[in-house]
Amino acid sequence: MPRLSAPSLSIEQLERILNARRAELRKLTKQRDRLARRLETIDRRIRAFGGSAGATNGKRARNAQSLTTVIESVLKSADKPVPVGEIADAAMRRGYRSSSANFRGIVNQTLIKDKRFSQASRGMYELKK
């Protein structure tokens, strides 16, 4: 909206302009909330198909726990060595979000680099004893 010169308007006119702007703001806020709910529904459906929803527009997913912590909890619940693919799938099921096209590769790199994990055999990892 263009800037209006205050001295040329009456108080009544200014109040009408403010009320119109407030009404437009309420309308836009409601519209944004409806779209956000629709987007969340679509994101849930994408996650159900194994996709990584919600990490768009160059924004990085934020997680409550680090990847190493999630991997550690996955391996603690397993009684035998676990393949990398299953570890990656279990991490996603536990709520870890990633926009990476190759999340399995990131999990594999984490398993190799972190000293808490040991390789039982090719592609199989467990907690270090």
User: pLDDT: is 75 or 61 the higher one?
Assistant: 75
pLDDT (0 to 100) of residue 2: 62
- Per cent of the chain over pLDDT 90 is 60
User: pLDDT: is 98 or 59 the higher one?
Assistant: 98
pTM for the model stands at 0.54
Which class does domain 67-127 fall in?
A: mainly alpha
Copy the structure tokens of residue 3: 């800037």
Read off the pLDDT of each residue in 5-24 and give the average, rounded to a whole number.
Answer: 87
Residue among 73, 78, 75, 110 nearest 95 (CA): 73
Q: pLDDT tens for residues 72-109?
A: 999 999 989 999 999 999 999 998 988 888 999 999 99
Question: Are the beta carbons of 52 and 98 closer than 8 angstroms?
Answer: yes
Q: Which residue has the tokens 């990398």?
A: 84
